[in-house]
Amino acid sequence: MAVSCCCCPWVSVASSEREPLSTQLSRQSHQDTRSVLFQEKPFTVKRVYVTDIDTLFTNIIEAFNKQQADCLAIRAAIQDLKETSCCSPVSSLSVCIEKIQQEHSAYNVQVHMEGYRFWLDSREKDVPEKLEWAQQQVGELNRATKGVISTETKLQEMISLVLQSQEMLVERVKVTNPEYLDQIRLERNLRENIEKISLAKQFSKQYREEANSVLVEISKSANLTL
C-alpha cells in the first residue's frame, strides 16, 4: 500500500521556483543555532594590498563559499527526501530511501553507486510524480556531495599555507605598506582574514564529514561497503 503524507513537497516537482535554501535550512531546528547563522552568510575577506596575498585569500574564500553552498544543498536535499518519505527529522538517509523503495515497490526502485556517483533508478520510464521528485532530490544530493568532496583537498592545502605562514604574511604587509597607519590598518585586516580562514578550516572539515556520511548511507542503500 502506498504511503501518503500531507507535508510532502513532491506535488511541486514541475516547478523550479521552490523556496530558497536559506528558508529550507531555517526549518532544521535540530541543528546548532550558531552553525545555522554562520552558514546562511558566506564569508568575505578584506584587502591587505599585497597582490598575491589578496589573491590567495580570495581563492580560499571563493572555494569555501562554494563548498558551504554545496553543504547547504546536501541538507536541503536530505530534508526534502525526509519530507517526501514522511520520515522523522532524526531518521537516517538510508531509512528514508528504504521507505521510498517500499512505497514504490511496483517500480523496482534501486540505488546505484559508482565511486562518488549515485542515483535512484527504476525499471519503468514513466513513474509517479512523487517518485520522480525523489529521484531529482537524490540527483541533487549527488551533485552537492561531489561538490563538497572535490573542493576539500585544494581548499585545505590553501588554508594550511596561510596558517603556516602567518608571521611571514604580516611582515610582507608591513614592508609593502611602509606608512605606519596603513600598516596598522592592513595588519588588522590580515589578522581578521586569518581568523576567518581558521574558522573556515573547521567548518570545511565538518562539511566533508557530512558528505562522507551521505556516501556511507547511500552505500547501505546500494548494498555496498565503503
pLDDT at position 21 is 40
Does residue 179 surpass a pLDDT of 50?
yes
Question: For 129-146, b where at least 16 C-beta lie within 10 A, e where not — what string?
Answer: ebbbbbbbbbebbbebbb
pLDDT value for 40: 56
Place of cell 527526501: 81
pLDDT score, position 10: 45
Q: Is the pLDDT of residue 190 over 80?
A: yes
Query: What is the arithmetic mean of pLDDT over 34-61?
Result: 83
> Tens digits of per-residue pLDDT, 11-40?
443 333 344 443 343 344 334 434 443 445
pLDDT digits over 35-47, tens only? 443 445 799 999 9
Q: Could you tell me the end-to-end alpha-carbon distance of the chain, in angstroms, rounded to an integer?
A: 33
- What is the model's pLDDT at position 49? 96
Residue 34: exposure state from Cβ atoms within 10 A (0-12, 13-18, ≥19): exposed
- What pLDDT, on the 0 to 100 scale, is given for residue 35? 47
Lowest mean pLDDT among 65-69, 95-99, 111-115, 123-127: 123-127
Q: What is the pLDDT of residue 225?
A: 66
* Phi, psi angle pair for 104, to nearest 5°: -115, 40
Q: How confident is the model at residue 171, as a pLDDT?
A: 96
Cα radius of gyration rounded to whole Å, the chain: 22
| Stretch 157-168: mean pLDDT | 96
Element holding 111 (H helix, E strand): strand 110-114
pLDDT digits (tens, 9 = 90+) for 73-91: 999 999 999 998 999 999 9
Q: pLDDT exceeding 90 applies to what percent of the chain?
A: 77
Of residues 3, 58, 51, 69, the one with CA closest to residue 203: 69
Average pLDDT over residues 52-75: 97
